[in-house]
Structure 1
Amino acid sequence: MANNSLKNENEGFVMADAEESAKSKKTFSLGKFKIPAIIIASVLVVIALFFGIMHFVSAPWRSGEKPMPKLLADVGMYQGMGFRYFDGVTINGVDVGGMTKNKAKRAIADAQDDDKSAYSIKITARDKSYQLEGKDIVFSIDSSDALEQAKAYCVSIMRGETVFDYSKSAFKVDVNIDTEKMANVIADIQNQLKQAPVNATFKGVSAAGVQFEEEKDGINITLENIKKDIETFIASGQKTGEIIATNAPVSAEITVAKLKEKIQIIGTFSTTSTASAASTKNMKKAMEMCDGSVIEPGAIWSFNGCTGNSNLASGGWVPAKVISGGQFINGYGGGICQASTTIYNAALRANLTIDTRFNHTYPSTYCKVGFDATVDYPSKDLKLKNNTGYPVYIQCIMDGRQLKVNIYGCPDNTYDNITFESSTIKRVPGSYYDVAAYRILWKDGKVIKREQLISSRYSLKDPNASSSSSESGSGSEGSESGDPSGGESSGGDSSSIIPDPTPTPDPTPTPDPEPTPSPDDTVQQAA
Structure 2
Amino acid sequence: MTRKAKRKDIRRQKWRSALAVLALSIPILLVAGLDLGLFAIEIGDRPVREDKEGNLRANDRQLKEAFELVTLLEFYPGVYVDDIHLGGMTREQGIEAIQENAMNFLSKIHIELEARDEIFEITGADLGASYNISDAVNEAWQQGRTARNPDIEQQILRRYQEIQALLTTPFKTEGSFDYDRDYMRQAIEAKLAAATVAPIPAKATAFDVATGSFTIAEKIDGIQPDVDKAVDDVMALLDTGEFRGKIKVDMETLDAGMTAAEMSSNLGLVAQASTPIMTMDAGRNQNLRRASQTMSGIIVNPGEIFSYLQALGPITTANGYDMGSVLLSDGSYDEALGGGLCQPSTTLFQAAFKANLQIVERYNHGRRSIYHEYGTDAMVSSPGADFRLRNNTDYPIAIVGIFTESNMIYRIYGKPLPAGETIGFSVRKIADVEPGPDVEKLDESLAPGTKQLTQAAVPGSTWQTFKVFYRNGVEYYRELTFTSYYQAYPAYYKVGPKPVATAAPTAAPTAAPTAAPTAAPTAAPELPAPVEEAPAP
Name the TM-score, length of structure 2 as normaliser: 0.45
Q: Which has the higher contact order (CA 8 A, sep 6+)?
A: 1
Name the TM-score, length of structure 1 as normaliser: 0.46
